[in-house]
Amino acid sequence: MNIKKLLGNRIREIRTSRSLTQEALAEIVSISAKTLSQIELGNNFVSAETLADICKALNITPKILFDFEHTEVAKENLISEIVKRLENNPQLLKTIYKIVIALDY
């Protein structure tokens, strides 16, 4: 995943944990809700000024905003959970194995 998408996901994650809508955060930061949406989707990158305003509005440091490590841990936990569920369904496991082999060209 690229940095724009990681940052956008992180902004959305923190915004929603603060029970803020895109419209509310956008108003606080003085940008349009559409601009914030594009940032959260990873389609646009923020300027340094907007980044500082977002951090201030969410009451966080840039270090917290750029902490993507938890995202990787969450993916590992998801994979572990999927494997556990597949252990009880050998037919589905076999099907997924075939799909993975086919994707590996």
Question: What are the residue ranges spanned by the domains of the chain?
Answer: 3-65, 69-103
What tens digit of pLDDT does each residue of 49-95 get? 999 999 999 999 999 988 887 665 556 666 677 777 777 888 888 88
Q: Which amino acid is at 59?
A: N
Residue 37 tokens, joined: 């949406």
Report d(CA 76, CA 71) in Å as an integer: 9
Report d(CA 80, CA 85) in Å as an integer: 9
What tens digit of pLDDT does each residue of 33-53 get? 999 999 999 999 999 999 999
- For the question of whether the overall pTM of this predicted structure is more than 0.85, the answer is no
What CATH number is given for 3-65 in this structure?
1.10.260.40
Report d(CA 25, CA 32) in Å as an integer: 9
